Amino acid sequence: MFKIKTATSEFQISEEALKLSETLSNLVEKLGIGKETEERIIPLDNVSNKALQLVIQYCEHHKNDPIRERGEGRRENEEEGESDDEPLEDTEISEWDTNFLQIDNELLFDLVCAANYLDIPKLLHVSCKTVALMARGRTTEELQTTNDRRSWVKVKTILIFFREIL
């Protein structure tokens, strides 16, 4: 088990779940936090406590899922610099993920940012697709009335990001 230490809290995460995050895996390696280390504490300040709790819950649930290596399944006609990940429109959202992502918009947007920062591709894909599905068929005005102003800025940012990774 590892502990993730934020400015105000500590969270536990299993080694298997931690491997779903490229960022956390790299921190463990670069900081020399491992089996030989008595204290297995990872410092992390760029993610809110609520979003981090959800990230850990997601990773613990999916820790035994097969992990696709980066670059695996890359199409031959893809140019260098393009994403190795599956197209977002092909991302399937499981029933568990659908239920998991039924959270308030503000927290969902924080979760998208956390998944991006922590480099958890599957969580990033399902959370971005959830935001995109929420916006599908709605006008800008409709989106602005269903979200407060701060959330609307995050929706726009996520939708721009969504378009870039398609």
Q: CATH code at 92?
A: 3.30.710.10
Residue 66: predicted pLDDT: 83
**Number of folded domains in the chain?**
1
Measured CA to CA, the distance from residue 133 to residue 28 in angstroms comes to 35
Residue 74 domain flag: no
Measured CA to CA, the distance from residue 43 to residue 105 in angstroms comes to 27
Residue 57 domain flag: yes
**Res. 139 pLDDT band, cuts 50 70 90:** confident
Residue 24 domain flag: yes
Residue 70 domain flag: no
The pair phi, psi for residue 161, each rounded to 5°, is -60, -45
Residue 73 domain flag: no
The pair phi, psi for residue 121, each rounded to 5°, is -55, -45
Residue 135: predicted pLDDT: 74
Residue 59 domain flag: yes
pLDDT tens readout for residues 43-95: 898 899 999 999 999 999 999 998 665 544 433 434 444 444 555 566 688 99
- Residues 140, 153: contact at Cβ < 8 Å? no
Residue 76 domain flag: no
Residue 142: predicted pLDDT: 67
Beta strands 2-5 and 41-43 are: parallel
Domain that holds residue 159: 2-64+86-165
Measured CA to CA, the distance from residue 143 to residue 152 in angstroms comes to 7
Residue 8 domain flag: yes
Measured CA to CA, the distance from residue 47 to residue 52 in angstroms comes to 6
**Percent of the chain beyond pLDDT 70?**
65
- Residues 11, 56: contact at Cβ < 8 Å? yes
